[in-house]
Amino acid sequence: MPLTVEQRSPLPMGELSGHTQAPGLSRVEAHGSRLLLTWDDDSQAPFPLIWLRDHCACPECRHPQTRERLYLPQEAPDEAVEAEVESGNLTVHWANGHLSHFDGGWLHQRRPGSLPSDAVPKRQPWEEGFSPVRVDHGDFTAGVAGERDWLTALLRDGLVLLEKGPLADEEVSRLAERIGPLRPTNFGARFDVRSKPNPNNAAYTAIALALHTDLPNWRQPPDIQLLYCLENGAEGGESIFADGFAAAECLRQSSPEAFRLLSETPIDFRFQDENHDLAWRAPVIALDEAGNVTEVRLNNWIRDSLRLPVETIDAWYAAYRHFWQRVHAPQHRLEFTLAPGEMVAFDNRRVLHGRNAFDPNSGRRHLQGTYLDLDMCESRLRVLARQA
């Protein structure tokens, strides 16, 4: 049966639609197993019938409260007998009597082959002279804007500062829990960074900490680290950070063979104490299918024995030295002193961190830290963007 095009009164929008600035529909045409849609701005896109049937938002096809899909597209849909445009939106009548409504703007945003819009920013490498965004604690806790600015900077730059916060125990946990649940590790869900006797980690000493990422010996290292300064009266102890992604790209350009070795050669990382023995094998630089850098695992303390073929060992060490030099190059690193009431947050799988040595006899130095999952940070930013 041929499809018809009509203009009628507004459609109910269904569970999947929402407010959008995209143009409304002006016309629909049938072309075999597809509908060709035309919008008010004259843009066009073909939609397979099976896609439209799968995305029906009626209560039979989507749970009305959870919005989870109930329809299972195991076979081709029944033929559509009629499609009509009503006030910029689409209605499809199926041969079995089912009725589907689609918001025209919603469909425009989901044209086949188009990329989704997202409030989460793209990562941007640090340029020389980079200075991290600073957000007041009061703005972060007062409403949407401050928290949104903080998350945007964190996800875009990999590092952001919060300042003028209270000197309150567990404040780092309270701030983190606005975003999502704390990510526990073998050091607990929340940890204290200060010099202490019988340490099981270099962070709990007063020595200098070379640039590193935390816990590369985990299959899934923590994504986001938060460090909240409660006391910092000791001499020294300046915080150091470097953009590992920018350093990796610099290595790719200057020493492509070193970059290849570090991105293709898994090595062993391991942490052991009386209660834990955590080990994982992975490359120093991880890439996605398109060759983009997605992760840096650089931690010289817990790099385990290098188990490589003898003919590869010298070349690997040379590549490792090259990358170490790039990471510590001035254009990729920052150095500053965290003041009491300040919190630094950074992407642990991108940004390397460290500190200068400090004198524990000259004053007290106490930071509290925790980790968050990147998924929860991105989720929170999307929720806040809807409230803007």
Reported as a single tens digit per residue, the pLDDT across 238-274 is 999 999 999 999 999 999 999 999 999 999 999 999 9
Cα(350)–Cα(104) distance, integer angstroms: 39
Q: Per residue in 46-55, pLDDT tens?
A: 999 999 999 9
What is the average pLDDT score of the chain?
91
Cβ burial 85-95 (10 Å sphere, 16+ → b, else e): bbebbbbbbbe
Which of helix, strand or coil describes residue 264? Answer: helix
* Half-sphere exposure of residue 249: CA atoms within 13 angstroms, side-chain side: 13
Cα angle for residues 166, 129, 368 (degrees, 5° grid): 25
What DSSP string runs through 45-57? EEEEHHHHHHT--
The per-residue pLDDT for 167 is: 97
Lowest mean pLDDT among 10-24, 125-139, 219-233, 274-288: 10-24
pLDDT bin (cut points 50, 70, 90) of residue 6 is very low
5 pLDDT above the threshold of 70: no
Cβ proximity of 64 and 15 under 8 Å: yes
Average pLDDT score over residue span 288-293:
97
pLDDT band, residue 16 (cuts 50/70/90): very low
Q: What are the tens digits of pLDDT across the range 83-141? A: 999 999 999 999 889 999 999 999 999 999 998 889 999 999 998 889 999 999 999 99
- Per-residue pLDDT tens over the stretch 154-180: 999 999 999 999 999 999 999 999 999
Mean per-residue pLDDT for 38-43?
A: 96
| pTM exceeds 0.85, yes or no | yes
Helix (H, G, I), strand (E, B) or coil at 288: coil
Handedness of CA 279, 280, 283, 288 (dihedral sign): negative
- Does 332 score more than 80 pLDDT? yes
Cβ neighbours of residue 306 closer than 8 Å, sequence gap 6 or more: 267, 268, 313, 316
Centre a 10 Å sphere on the Cβ of residue 19 and count the other Cβ atoms it contains: 9
CA distances from 332 to 227, 253, 291, 297, 352 (A): 21, 15, 21, 16, 10
